[in-house]
Structure 1
Amino acid sequence: MKFLLSEEQDRFAASVDDLLANREVDSATRAWARGEHDEGRKLWRALAEIGVTALGVPERYDGLGASDLDLVVAFDRLGYHAVPGPWTDTVAVLPALLDDELLAGVAAGDTLASVAFGPHVPYALDADIADTRVAVDGTALHIFRPASRLSSVDGARRLFRIEPGERIGEADPGRAFELGALTTAAYLLGAGQWLLDASVGHAKQRRQYGKPIGGFQAVKHLLADVVTGLELAKPLVHAAALTLAPRDVSAAKVAAGRAAHLAARTGLQVHGAIGYTGEHPLGLRLTKVRALRSAWGTPAFHRARVLESV
């Protein structure tokens, strides 16, 4: 059976691409890493206007009540453009944890959330600027306060230790965790595709011995391996969005992380020394892929879940 996105999903992905292609996303990401959030919040509001922030919110809170596959489509594009901010926490995880009027703020793009989800997400992303902070401990939900900030290989992933506070209720955390892992996999998939596109473009322009390096068989093989990895990961991510079964989500997370990591390594090889420079957009994706590969469950955890299920 051949799996295809619907025309509506393709159009939605194109609308996200069109919006972000006309914005200085890399500049906003670098500013976000410095703790300057104005550019990133403008991106957030612009994406809210086309419905991205409303996808996971039920219609009773002015959301779209979209499918998990719609979320995957959006996060793939967010990853391609390396948009900064707590997107997974706010758009995917929080609506799966809470049934509360504050979700109307999420749908409108006014509310940013930070979620700590022990034991696999012990630190809180962007907790200092989040409007809503929720810590998951088993089935218990607590508000929390941000404590000390931690360093991350990805400067735009601003992580904080937490100080749990008042208990605010209970929830079944299963669906929320799977959505966190799944949307992270989709983000990795998009980042990997950007790395591949950038590497192909560079290989066509960079010349050695009087010809583009993309004409050399060794470079072709490197890029072909990346294409294969991404094409194998994509249907796993889409299938996991249809079932949200733990085994499927874990398989998707492992495959997307591996493919994106290969795309990052290959991109660095193809670009050469320029890929190490802080000014080049390649570096933003290299560090993000490395960080997200272990976010919402390490590769070892997800491989173990797949193994336990077979």
Structure 2
Amino acid sequence: MRFELTEDQRDFASSLESLLSSADTVGTARAWAAGDHAPGLHLWKRLAEQGLTMLATEATPVELCIAFEALGRHAVPGPWVESAAYLPLALGHEVEGVATVAVPPLVPYALDADVADQVLVRTDGSLHRATAGQAKASVDGTRHLFTVTPGERVEHGDLDAAFDLAVLATAAQLLGAGERILADAVTYVKQRRQFGREIGSYQAIKHALADVRIALDFARPLVLGAALGEVSASAAKVATADAAYLASRTGLQVHGAIGYTAELDLSIWITKVRALVTAWGAPAHHRGAILRELVG
């Protein structure tokens, strides 16, 4: 099957790219990691006005994937998967403000519960309001995780469908982050000189970056295929997790020692990929889901 975006979808992607390119998303991510949420919440409001929080209920999963790929490419912080993918389907309506949710055991903690207007948790097959508890560290400094305590039960819709959409949104984020790491790595190897020539001219580096390009290109159809219901969200998550992780490892390698510094912007995407690989189900879980699907 050939996947091509419609003109309206391309226009939507272009408008998002324009908005995020003009915003200081790196500065916003660093501020969010440091506990200053004001820039991130301002950007949240602008993106909500673009319709991101209503995509799950008012658009198709394809538009949602377009949006989340952009969020991953620009490392936009905040509980976007929870607010714009899982909860709109779980509750049956668009979420007002910032919301987050825990879905144990695969999602044991609520992301950014300290800034959320609503905190919920799925437990005993139902959705409950929750109160945030102890903070937990994440490899990604922009991801602030919290334990939760269930409270009153709330009416909900199809929680399994909501989970699958959250997995798909996470896969799209991984795809976007992988694309950004590859783009930055290609730019760097064209500039960095060693022994009188750009390091990007060496065959070993060309081949390593080509492997990343191939992995991302093979992952993209699975994301779009899952959005159209042709393949499972688990297949998209496994492929994008592998591709983005390869991109982060390769990007780190070609940057050399500077790649290990937190001061380099690349670190924002590398740590985000590492966290998203296991977010909304680790690869082992999703490979198991694919196996069960294949064997019936």
Residue of structure 2 in register with 1:47 after alignment = 47
2: CA distance, partners of 1:55 / 1:6: 16
Amino acid at match of 1:150: K
Amino acid at match of 1:208: Q
Q: Deviations over 1:142-174 (max 9, x none)?
A: 100000000000010000001111112343311
Secondary structure of 1:274's aligned partner: helix
2: CA distance, partners of 1:205 / 1:271: 11
- Unaligned regions of 5+ residues in structure 2, if any? none
Residue of structure 1 in register with 2:254 after alignment = 270
* Correspondence 1:218 to 2:204: yes
Q: Give the C-alpha shift of residue 138 in structure 1.
A: 4.2
Q: Give the C-alpha shift of residue 53 in structure 1.
A: 2.3
Amino acid at match of 2:228: L
Amino acid at match of 2:84: V
2: CA distance, partners of 1:122 / 1:278: 27
Secondary structure of 1:301's aligned partner: helix
8 Å CA contact 1:188–1:257 kept in 2: the answer is yes
Residue of structure 2 in register with 1:85 after alignment = 78
Residue of structure 2 in register with 1:150 after alignment = 136
Secondary structure of 1:10's aligned partner: helix
1: CA distance, partners of 2:214 / 2:7: 25
* Correspondence 1:259 to 2:243: yes
Matches within 5 A, 1:69-108: 69-99=62-92, 103=94, 105=96
Scaled by the length of structure 1, what TM-score is found? Answer: 0.92
Match among 157, 168, 186 for residue 172 of structure 2: 186
Q: Deviations over 1:260-294 (max 9, x none)?
A: 00000000011111111222110000100000000
* Correspondence 1:118 to 2:104: yes
Amino acid at match of 2:14: A
Q: Give the C-alpha shift of residue 9 in structure 1.
A: 1.1
Q: Give the C-alpha shift of residue 244 in structure 1.
A: 7.4
1: CA distance, partners of 2:155 / 2:51: 28
Amino acid at match of 1:5: L
2: CA distance, partners of 1:141 / 1:50: 28
Secondary structure of 2:155's aligned partner: strand
Residue of structure 2 in register with 1:133 after alignment = 119
Match among 148, 173, 189 for residue 203 of structure 1: 189
Q: Deviations over 1:117-136 (max 9, x none)?
A: 12211100011111111111
8 Å CA contact 1:139–1:171 kept in 2: the answer is no
Q: Give the C-alpha shift of residue 54 in structure 1.
A: 2.4
1: CA distance, partners of 2:29 / 2:283: 26
Secondary structure of 1:278's aligned partner: coil
8 Å CA contact 2:73–2:180 kept in 1: the answer is yes
Percent identity between the aligned chains? Answer: 50
8 Å CA contact 1:230–1:256 kept in 2: the answer is yes
1: CA distance, partners of 2:219 / 2:95: 33
Secondary structure of 1:196's aligned partner: helix
8 Å CA contact 2:54–2:88 kept in 1: the answer is no
* Correspondence 1:287 to 2:271: yes
Residue of structure 2 in register with 1:61 after alignment = none
Q: Deviations over 1:34-73 (max 9, x none)?
A: 111000011111112222222224xxxxxxx100110001
Amino acid at match of 1:291: A
8 Å CA contact 1:179–1:244 kept in 2: the answer is no
Secondary structure of 1:143's aligned partner: strand
1: CA distance, partners of 2:283 / 2:241: 8
Amino acid at match of 1:250: S
